[in-house]
Amino acid sequence: MMKKIWKRFIAFTLVGLAIVGIAGCGSKDTDNGEKTTAAEVAAAGETTDKTKGGETVIRVCWWGNQTRNDGTVKALEMYETEHPGIKFEVEFSDFNGYWDKLATQAASGNLPDIIQMDYRYIKQYADKGQIVGLNQYINSGVIETADVADSIMETGVVGSDIYGIVSGTQAMALLVNTDVMAEAGVTLPKQPTWDELFEAGKTVHEKTGQFLNIPSGDELNMLYMARAVGQTMFNEAGDGLGMPDETVALRYFTRLKETLDGGYHLSPEEVAEGSNSQLSNFAAGKEWCNFINSNQITNTISQCPDGLEYEIYMYPTEADAIQQPLFLKPSMFWSISKDSGNSEIAADVINYLTNSVEANKEALKGERGVPISSVVSKAIAEVVDESTARINSYVSEVAKIANKIDPPYPAAAAEVAKLISDLSDMVRYGEITPEDAANDFYEQATEILQKGAAK
Amino acid sequence: MFKRIKRFYAAANKETVAGYLFIAPFIIGFLAFSAIPILISLYLSFTEYDILGTPKFIGIENYVRMFTNDPKVWKTFGVTFFYAAISVPLKLIMALAVAMLFLKNNRFTGFMRGVYYLPSIMGGSIAVAVLWRRLFASDGVINGILALIGFPGNISWLGRKDTAIWTLIILSVWQFGSSMLIFLAGLKQIPASLYEAATVDGGSKPRQFFSITLPMLTPVLFFNLVQQMINAFMAFTQSFVITNGGPRDSTRFYSVYQYQRAFEFHEMGYASAMAWFMLLVIGILTALIFKSSTRWVYNESKDG
Amino acid sequence: MKNDVSYKAGSKIRASQVISIILIILGGFTMTYPLLWMVMSSFKANNEIFNNAGSLIPKVFHFENYINGWKGFAKISFTTFFTNSFFISIVGTIGAVFSSAFIAFGFARLKFKGRNFWFICMLITMMLPFQVIMIPQYIIFNKLGWVGTFLPLIVPSFFGGSFFIFLIIQFIYGIPKDLDEAAKIDGCSYLDIFTRIILPLIIPALVTCAIFSFMWKWDDFMGSLLYLNKPSMYPVTMALKMFSDPTSITDWGAMFAMATCSIIPIFLIFVFFQRYLVNGISTEGLKG
């Protein structure tokens, strides 16, 4: 009797396992990860997609919001009109969800053909072979780069190949509320030094009660301070810091404390509150100046009360700077995934998005940043709105003096950024001295980077 | 063969067969969609896996690191534990109280039930996040109301290390509607005859509550307790979208830290180890509640 | 019995009742204030929403927020998004509620070897965070070819949801076993017992599960993010998230407008279904 029940039980289990077997066979293979297996699987998947009714299907994904979605879809449709036989399937989401989904798709060999890529991740994806090198298409002329500055093309370089075509450039800026500045009676040079900025900050606070806020949520600030004195945040190999000692870190942490003690910096509570708020402190009238990426200026201004006067100043440099810290930052790239069965066509599409004047004028409109082709960026000047026009002219000013970008971030960069953020908070809340913070930072960041490189 | 089946069916083990037939859908679904991912995640916890590459087996290194070299694991665990320990009882008490309040059936109570349930509908959406931040901002509504009654009206609830977690606790308690719903269903199941008999015997309302309502509600209370406890320990969205770990990690839930390690630092193996540790903790707590349930949970249909 | 209360005592009760009603309404207002804020914000202009957080009523009612919001993006309007959400939520709920009740009966009423083992398996699925099994699950669904379809979002519901199974088990425990015994003597099979006796008695539980299932499916974001590629298949949650990308301009008014719209179906379902919750059948008569 027991045997019969046992048989039943086994029968059920087998049925279940059979289902799982059909479903799961090969998934273990993917995990033990021959990339070839994943690619084969993907290719098999792609083949089914490829020949939908005789049309070639190209999948494109990006993050963004309505404006970008509408614009990009329109541009792709324009391409479809010129190239019958090609059909696009688009996938878009918000920024945070995008990376979760991309990683998951990468793990299962299911990446879309054309991927919007970010500077923070390009090295990881390239190193792990998830995106393909594009030199082959540039050299063969599929992707034309005649109108693009070399320095911009270089930003997509990882190792010895280019892995992403920049879709728009931006630069760090100092957005200043000129009404408040006028009220306080201060002026600033086009690119102030940090000391000049702090002097102005003191006066503005005395006269108007508004504050400064030095961003500390990631590594960018320290990175710029390092660049000004000829150092880089991460070294070329990605296994250590590009700073020979703690001087820059000490400067950075000390400034956080001094400005706070001086009374002209936002309190740590306000900083914490503001860091997550949708309404920027600048728009709320708590800060009179804002360290910001040029791409985001339009968003911030749209939140401000109507009629606010502003000016875009350059990100500060050091009094003892030996070079210009500013660089042109690629706002995002277009890359081609390894899972694409149609990389040649994908390259052509990227070329279109980069170089087509009509596509940019009518659809894309520089929403991702200043177009990299000088021809295109001139052409769209006529159709953009006021704030975008001001941003574009700022970026072109920066382009004249910009320095070479840092080497691409190693995978462990995210953890280092978090470390800086944590230590900054600790300094602000008075839990640690700037000296200790600089010390801890240097030690721990080095450790993190070494461990990361060993993987 | 047919005879065999007939005999088999007629045997006393008919119950076993029936049992398996009834839970067959669960078994199939479990084996197909859950079992393998669960086993894989267990395996991953013993590897180094950055998602873009391939997993590399490293034995118990992840677990060792968790226990000896990562203070954040304990900090976030503590935050989560505190959050659960406070919000769950508060939530359940509110839910029961309000359910009892609106037990009677009329238009007014029906409508009010909906009103008190509304907050849970909003869930963890982006709208709630924006809302909550505005409410508790230094110049927000809560401070405004406090100022009216004479308290200092500029507390930075979200910016101070000691108060931020309370905004999340309040959020959780505010959304007690789901528990209320379950209590309502449970209350409705209590036979009215019990109450009538008690009133005839001269029992007062509070007495009735403690000797009839509460005992009859214990299965539902048990369910709510286990459910809310599990949810509290696994809470993610509120911390992630409202405070993102908040000032100095004071609102960083364990699952948020785990997510960070998995998707921001690309350490899926380590994150899996973290997940299994939490699973262990929740499992032990649930087992304890289950064990104790024989003492205090009323079960009409259980024998003995 | 109520009529026995003297008139004097009656008026006392009235006063305290009035006070409690006032308190309840105040409480209700507190509960819904945040919601009211959101609804009011959906009528405000973008820069007014945050700058005038104190004032509830908008200066000017910007109804166009709703029109703009409904347009959606990339030529897909919220009509599509809502249709998708409804489809996923309704089909998923039907599957979840009935399969869970079926399975719960097995766990609650039948004794069989291995019952505890499978019960524990069920609990484990409740306790495992989604992110951890996210990637392996995705690989499975990918192998099945279900990525890009609604299947990964609704098929698993038909195999029971652990929360629901657990809840219904507890409710079944509250039903006296004598009923089962009586039915068995009358020659009913287990299936009959399930459909004719237990099912009608656990309607409050079923309604509760239906409400929850609908709500959770409606609010699901991660699942949709991973498995739905075509924006024309996106549910409302994903569409809402698209409004608030931190790297580009956000139309807050439109977002709040759509968020408000998104709450209405759930609210209506609750209001409509609570009738069944509330008119639960008492087991009293059956005992005798």
Cα angle A191-A193-A199, degrees, rounded to a multiple of 5: 115
Q: Which of B18, B41, B110 sits opposite C274 (nearest CB)?
A: B110
Name the 3-class secondary structure at A162: strand
In the stretch 246-285 of chain C, residues with CB closer than 8 A to chain A read 246-252
Element of type H or E holding A286? none
Whether A131 contacts A164, CB under 8 Å: yes
Backbone torsions φ then ψ of B78, nearest 5 degrees:
-60, -45
Closest residue of B to C157, CA-based?
B29
When the pLDDT of each residue in chain A is averaged and rounded to a whole number, the result is: 84
What CATH code is carried by the domain that includes residue B268? 1.10.3720.10
Confidence of residue A17 (pLDDT cuts 50, 70, 90): very low
pLDDT at residue C186, as a whole number: 82
pLDDT at residue B302, as a whole number: 46
Which of A23-32, A144-153, B105-114, B116-125 is the most confident on average? A144-153
Q: Which of B13, B28, B40 sits opposite A5 (nearest CB)?
A: B13
B124 in contact with A, Cβ within 8 Å: no
Q: Which of C114, C142, C241 sits opposite A108 (nearest CB)?
A: C142
B11 neighbourhood in chain A, CB within 8 Å: 1
pLDDT value at C10 more than 70: no
DSSP 8-state symbol, A218: S
**Per residue of chain B (304 residues), what is the pLDDT tens digit?**
666 666 655 554 778 888 888 999 999 999 989 998 889 989 999 999 888 888 899 999 999 999 998 999 999 999 999 999 999 999 999 999 888 888 877 778 878 888 888 888 877 777 788 888 888 888 778 888 888 888 887 888 888 888 999 999 999 999 998 888 888 878 877 777 888 887 888 777 777 778 888 888 888 888 889 889 998 998 988 888 888 888 889 999 999 999 899 888 889 899 999 989 998 999 899 889 888 888 887 765 444 3
**Rounded CA gap, B95 and B185, in Å?**
12
Task: Report CB contact under 8 Å: A16, B161.
Answer: no
B25 in contact with C, Cβ within 8 Å: yes
Sorted by where each starts, the structural domains of chain A and their CATH numbers stand as 33-168+332-390 (3.40.190.10), 172-327+406-454 (3.40.190.10)
C51 in contact with A, Cβ within 8 Å: yes
E-state strands within A53-118: 56-63, 86-93, 114-117
B159 neighbourhood in chain A, CB within 8 Å: 267-273
Subunits next to B (3 or more Cβ pairs <8 Å) are: A, C
**Chain-centre distance of CA A451, in angstroms?**
24
Residue pLDDT, tens place only, C22-81: 888 888 888 888 888 888 888 887 767 766 655 677 778 888 888 888 887 777 889 999
Q: Which of C27, C204, C259 sits opposite B125 (nearest CB)?
A: C259
Structural domain count of chain B: 1
Q: Which of A103, A270, A411 sits opposite B138 (nearest CB)?
A: A270
Q: Which of A31, A67, A304 sits opposite C249 (nearest CB)?
A: A67
pLDDT value at C288 more than 60: no
C255 neighbourhood in chain A, CB within 8 Å: none
**Chain-centre distance of CA C170, in angstroms?**
19
Residue pLDDT, tens place only, A339-383: 999 999 999 999 999 999 999 988 888 888 889 898 898 888 888
Structure tokens, B73: 């694991």
pLDDT at residue C245, as a whole number: 63
Q: Which of A31, A90, A97 sits opposite C225 (nearest CB)?
A: A97
Q: Which residue did the predictor score with more confidence, A378 or A49?
A: A378
A-C contacts (CB, under 8 Å): 123
Closest residue of A to B251, CA-based?
A272
B163 neighbourhood in chain A, CB within 8 Å: none
Residue pLDDT, tens place only, A162-218: 999 999 899 999 999 999 999 999 999 999 999 999 999 999 999 998 999 998 988
Contacts of B65 (CB under 8 A, 6+ apart): B270
pLDDT value at A12 more than 60: no
pLDDT value at C279 more than 60: no
Q: Which residue did the predictor score with more confidence, A36 or A155?
A: A155
**Rounded CA gap, A22 and C144, in Å?**
8
**Rounded CA gap, C44 and C61, in Å?**
6
B124 in contact with C, Cβ within 8 Å: yes
Q: Which residue did the predictor score with more confidence, A455 or B239?
A: B239
A8 neighbourhood in chain B, CB within 8 Å: 16-17, 20
Residue tagged 């461990």 (tokens): A451
Mutate to test the interface with A, among C50, C59, C113, C229 (most CBs of A within 10 A): C229
Q: CA B50, B56, B59, B62: dihedral to nearest 10 degrees?
A: -10
**Nearest of A39, A29, A34 to residue A343 by alpha carbon:** A39
Specify which residues A169 forms β-bridges with. A330, A370
Closest residue of A to B26, CA-based?
A16
The single-letter code of the amino acid at C240 is L
Whether B278 contacts B254, CB under 8 Å: yes
**DSSP assignment of chain C:** -GGGS-HHHHHHHHHHHHHHHHHHHHHHHHHHHHHHHHHHHTTS-HHHHHHTTT--S-SS--THHHHHHHH-BTTB-HHHHHHHHHHHHHHHHHHHHHHHHHHHHHHHH---TTHHHHHHHHHHHHHS-HHHHHHHHHHHHHHHT-TTSSHHHHGGGGG--HHHHHHHHHHHHTS-THHHHHHHHTT--HHHIIIIIIHHHTHHHHHHHHHHHHHHHHH--HHHHHH--SGGG--HHHHHHHHT-TTS---HHHHHHHHHHHHHHHHHHHHHHHHHHHTPPPSHHHH-
Q: Pinpoint the residues of chain C covered by CATH 1.10.3720.10.
A: 68-287
Which of A75-84, B152-161, C16-25, C103-112 is the most confident on average? A75-84
**Rounded CA gap, B270 and B261, in Å?**
7
C231 in contact with A, Cβ within 8 Å: yes
CATH entry, C68-287, from 2.40.180.10, 1.10.3720.10, 3.30.70.2860, 2.60.120.620: 1.10.3720.10
**Rounded CA gap, A153 and A172, in Å?**
19
pLDDT at residue A24, as a whole number: 30
Closest residue of C to B274, CA-based?
C132
Task: Report CB contact under 8 Å: C242, A367.
Answer: no
Closest residue of A to B243, CA-based?
A276
Whether B37 contacts A28, CB under 8 Å: no
Residue pLDDT, tens place only, A117-141: 999 899 999 999 999 999 999 999 9
Subunits next to C (3 or more Cβ pairs <8 Å) are: A, B
pLDDT value at A445 more than 90: yes
In the stretch 140-199 of chain B, residues with CB closer than 8 A to chain A read 156, 158-161, 164
pLDDT at residue A36, as a whole number: 33
Burial A322-349 (b: 16+ CB within 10 A, else e): eebbbbbbbbbbbbbbbbbbbbebbbbb
Element of type H or E holding A111? none
Whether A75 contacts A364, CB under 8 Å: yes
Contacts of A35 (CB under 8 A, 6+ apart): A129, A338, B54
Mutate to test the interface with B, among A5, A273, A338, A423 (most CBs of B within 10 A): A273
pLDDT at residue C243, as a whole number: 73
DSSP 8-state symbol, A295: G
Classify residue B224 as exposed, middle or buried by CB count within 10 Å of its CB (0-12, 13-18, 19+). Answer: buried
Whether B231 contacts C92, CB under 8 Å: no
pLDDT at residue B6, as a whole number: 65
pLDDT at residue B3, as a whole number: 67
B-C contacts (CB, under 8 Å): 268
Mutate to test the interface with A, among B31, B58, B236, B240 (most CBs of A within 10 A): B31
**A95-99, A201-205, A230-234, C125-129: segment of lowest average pLDDT:** C125-129
**Distance (Å) from the alpha carbon of B215 to chain C's nearest alpha carbon:** 11
Backbone torsions φ then ψ of B65, nearest 5 degrees:
-60, -40
Please indicate, yes or no, if residue B14 is contained in any of the structural domains: no
Residue pLDDT, tens place only, A169-181: 999 999 999 999 9
Structure tokens, C2: 């109520």
Contacts of B61 (CB under 8 A, 6+ apart): B48
Please indicate, yes or no, if residue B292 is contained in any of the structural domains: yes
Please indicate, yes or no, if residue B159 is contained in any of the structural domains: yes
Whether C133 contacts C215, CB under 8 Å: no
Owning domain of residue B256: 70-296
pTM for the model stands at: 0.83
Q: Which of C50, C74, C147 sits opposite A278 (nearest CB)?
A: C50
